């Protein structure tokens, strides 16, 4: 058994190579030099969290703690490598024995040594997402789907993964978070068992197994547990607010012997409950570790005092939090600007005009970002940016009109407008169960007919396809065919918004539910597409504009480097980034905060944390915008929008209101 370095404190004299008091501010220094025992570091946005962790590792090493006795857990390989690089730079020598990496990489390292204890060979294979999908599809191929339509492999893998990380049975996760899959409960549970057995039989693990089997190993083998409890005498965890229940159990188990656990995070930036993160882990840390010392790091090196004043006010209303007050190390700047706009179009016009003005003032496009709660909020903005030839990139990598579900819906519209559109037809029939590429080719030939030059009635076309359908598709085809025939009527094509709604309700909703775990978000996208279509005069006008805009966008940006584009991003994807100028758009109740979140106080608090994260991305300038009027779905006219309740929680004297007199002035 390795020798333990049991230290009650760090009182022994040490000839430090690093002048910690000089290198760190007072709050950082207190955290870095904390005595042994449990510690919670609440590091506010832009307060030097990575710097604090890096110097803590260096401090432990200078105290004489061997590198092999330190475990540093992070969420990304990039973060782990950056911290290791900084520690090496501080100390001047390599640290091959230091255990640092993501939860999954450390789990893999331990399982490679001990997997035989839980029935796996040491030479097991780790599956990536595509491998896992292929294996699950193989299991699906052995499942009877004649009575119930099962979700696709991607959606099932999301369900199984969520259950693992929440540490709850699949059936509970199914009913709590994936209720739209409930009709197939029996088949899904049987499929989960088959998938688990197939992984073990083929000596394969997916990414979740690297954590859940690591925990299982330590719980089942006391010798392995004792080995690593003894070895890891000092454990440090980055971004602790993002840990889920499984990760929290792993950490607590490893730290149980020595109790030298330092977790670093910001409860005000816990925004990932939707993917399993447990906000209670950080909030309840002092209860789980009554001896824990709590250190707050509140000096912000990123934003101006004016922006931080808004951030502090924005998060103050949350009840469940560690109170903190960010203070800027920077000189005074300009007050954040509040911009009410008449409509989403006027909002987009204002943002684009201000982008161009800022660029003329010397701010590069890459230093500006437009943030929003949901992807569809930027739909009008993407159109306006394209019209004005302002290059942009989207953090998610997919523009609104390029998303799979949006392209599926527009495929129906394209086929109605042009019955010889082979690409649109094949995209539609590939959504049918049992239809692959070969089947799509066969159906296309039947749909087109023997005389390609002839114009055949819709009824004739769809009837011809019936003979080529696989058994699995025969129940779905009549509804799809009837929908296409109904949409082909001239009076239907006059209203593309109603066409979109008909497609969704008649044929696409069931497909969306069966194929995507986040179908509600995609449903919102389709609803917003229908609202957007109301401003066009007929199907041809709508499709022409989409095509022209896509073409202009591709032409305008093909020679533009990524660092010469303005950034568009959801707030979730912008976490960890910073920009000189930030616009936060669509700040309306029901949009930001999200309407579904307003029914649950915990979810509303997470929405407020999301707003706080958005604000703290800005370094120099911040613009908060919202439309006063939005078009409603179904042609019901315009409705007044209520400004986000979060705006009402910010004292008016912290914001500089900007009145837009008319669209002509933008």
Known active-site residue 50: yes
Burial class (CB in 10 A: 0-12, 13-18, 19+), 452: exposed
The H or E element spanning position 580 is: strand 579-584
DSSP class of 578: -
What SS3 class is residue 41? Answer: strand
**Cα gap 95→89, rounded to integer Å:** 11
Rounded to 10 deg, the angle between the 49-62 and 77-91 helix axes is 50
Q: Which of 567, 575, 617, 619 is flagged as catalytic?
A: 617
Q: Which of 233, 269, 321, 493 is flagged as catalytic?
A: 269
**Cα gap 49→297, rounded to integer Å:** 8
Contact 477, 443 (CB under 8 A): no
Known active-site residue 617: yes
The H or E element spanning position 627 is: strand 618-627
Known active-site residue 269: yes
DSSP β-ladder status, 39-43 and 204-205: unpaired
Rounded to 10 deg, the angle between the 305-315 and 601-615 helix axes is 180
Q: Which of 209, 238, 380, 525 is flagged as catalytic?
A: 238
**Cα gap 343→364, rounded to integer Å:** 27
Known active-site residue 81: no
Q: ω into residue 115 within 30 of 0, thus cis?
A: no
CA distances from 454 to 371, 447, 461, 611 (A): 50, 12, 11, 57
What SS3 class is residue 277? Answer: strand
CA distances from 650 to 44, 278, 324, 553, 660 (A): 19, 27, 16, 38, 21
**Cα gap 106→113, rounded to integer Å:** 11
**Cα gap 388→556, rounded to integer Å:** 10
DSSP β-ladder status, 579-584 and 337-341: unpaired
**Cα gap 469→442, rounded to integer Å:** 9
DSSP class of 485: H
**Torsion (CA) 142, 145, 147, 148 in degrees, nearest 10:** 130
Nearest to 587 by CA among 523, 528, 514, 641: 641
The H or E element spanning position 125 is: strand 125-126
Q: Which of 158, 206, 208, 239 is flagged as catalytic?
A: 239
Contact 145, 183 (CB under 8 A): no
Catalytic residues: 49-50, 238-239, 269, 617
């Amino acid at each position: 058994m390795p020798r333990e370095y049991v230290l009650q404190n760090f009182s022994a004299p040490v000839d430090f190579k690093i002048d910690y008091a000089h290198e760190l501010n007072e709050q950082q220094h207190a955290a870095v030099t904390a005595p042994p025992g449990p510690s919670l570091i609440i590091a506010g946005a832009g307060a030097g969290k990575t710097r604090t962790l890096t110097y803590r590792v260096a401090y432990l090493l200078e105290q004489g703690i061997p590198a092999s006795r330190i475990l540093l857990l992070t969420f990304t390989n990039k973060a782990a490598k950056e911290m290791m690089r900084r520690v090496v730079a501080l100390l001047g020598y390599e640290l091959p024995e230091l255990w640092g990496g993501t939860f999954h990489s450390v789990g893999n390292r331990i399982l490679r040594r001990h997997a035989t204890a839980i029935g796996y060979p040491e030479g097991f294979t780790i599956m990536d997402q595509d491998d896992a999908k292929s294996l699950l599809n193989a299991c699906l191929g052995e499942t009877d789907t004649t009575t119930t339509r099962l979700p696709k492999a991607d959606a099932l893998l999301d369900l199984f993964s969520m259950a693992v990380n929440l540490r709850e049975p699949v059936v509970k996760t199914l009913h709590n978070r994936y209720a739209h899959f409930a009709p197939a409960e029996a088949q899904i549970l049987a499929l989960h068992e088959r998938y688990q057995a197939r992984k073990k039989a083929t000596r394969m693990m997916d990414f979740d197994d690297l954590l859940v089997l690591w925990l299982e190993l330590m719980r089942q083998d006391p010798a392995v547990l004792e080995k690593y409890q003894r070895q890891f005498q000092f454990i440090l965890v980055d971004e602790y607010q993002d840990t889920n229940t499984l990760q929290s159990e792993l950490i607590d188990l490893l730290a149980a012997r020595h109790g030298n656990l330092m977790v670093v995070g910001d409860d005000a930036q816990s925004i990932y409950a939707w993917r399993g993160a447990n906000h209670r882990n950080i909030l309840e840390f002092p209860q789980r570790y009554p001896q824990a010392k709590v250190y707050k790091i509140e000096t912000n090196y990123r934003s101006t005092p004016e922006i931080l004043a808004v951030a502090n006010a924005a998060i103050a209303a949350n009840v469940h939090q560690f109170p903190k007050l960010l203070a800027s190390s920077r000189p005074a700047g300009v007050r954040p600007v509040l911009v009410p706009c008449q409509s989403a179009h006027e909002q987009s016009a204002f943002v684009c005009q201000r982008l161009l003005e800022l660029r003329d003032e010397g701010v590069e496009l890459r230093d500006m970002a437009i943030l929003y709660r949901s992807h569809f909020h930027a739909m009008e903005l993407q159109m306006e940016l394209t019209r004005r030839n302002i290059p942009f990139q989207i953090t998610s990598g997919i523009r609104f009109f390029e998303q799979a579900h949006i392209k599926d819906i527009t495929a129906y519209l394209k086929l109605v407008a042009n019955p010889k559109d082979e690409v649109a037809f094949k995209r539609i029939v590939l959504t049918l169960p049992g239809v692959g590429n070969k089947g799509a080719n066969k159906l296309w030939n039947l749909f087109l007919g023997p005389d390609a030059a002839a114009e055949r009635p819709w009824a004739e076309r769809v009837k011809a396809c019936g003979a080529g359908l696989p058994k699995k598709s025969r129940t779905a085809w009549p509804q799809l065919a009837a929908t296409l025939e109904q949409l082909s009527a001239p009076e239907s094509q006059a209203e593309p918004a109603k066409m979109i709604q008909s497609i969704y309700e008649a044929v696409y909703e069931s497909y969306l539910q069966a194929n995507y775990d986040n179908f509600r978000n995609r449903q919102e996208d389709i609803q917003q597409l229908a609202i957007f279509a109301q401003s066009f005069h007929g199907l041809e006008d709508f499709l022409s504009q989409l095509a022209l805009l896509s073409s202009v966008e591709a032409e305008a940006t093909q020679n533009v480097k990524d660092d010469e584009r303005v950034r568009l991003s959801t707030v979730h994807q912008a976490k960890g980034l910073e920009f000189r100028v930030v616009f936060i758009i669509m700040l309306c109740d029901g949009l930001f905060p999200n309407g579904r979140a307003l029914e649950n106080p915990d979810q509303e608090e997470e929405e407020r944390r999301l707003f706080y994260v958005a604000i703290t991305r800005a370094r120099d300038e911040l613009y908060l915008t919202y439309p006063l009027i939005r078009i409603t779905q179904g042609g019901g006219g315009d409705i007044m929008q209520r400004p986000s309740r979060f705006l009402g929680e910010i004292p008016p004297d912290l914001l500089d209101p900007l009145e837009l007199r008319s669209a002509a002035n933008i």
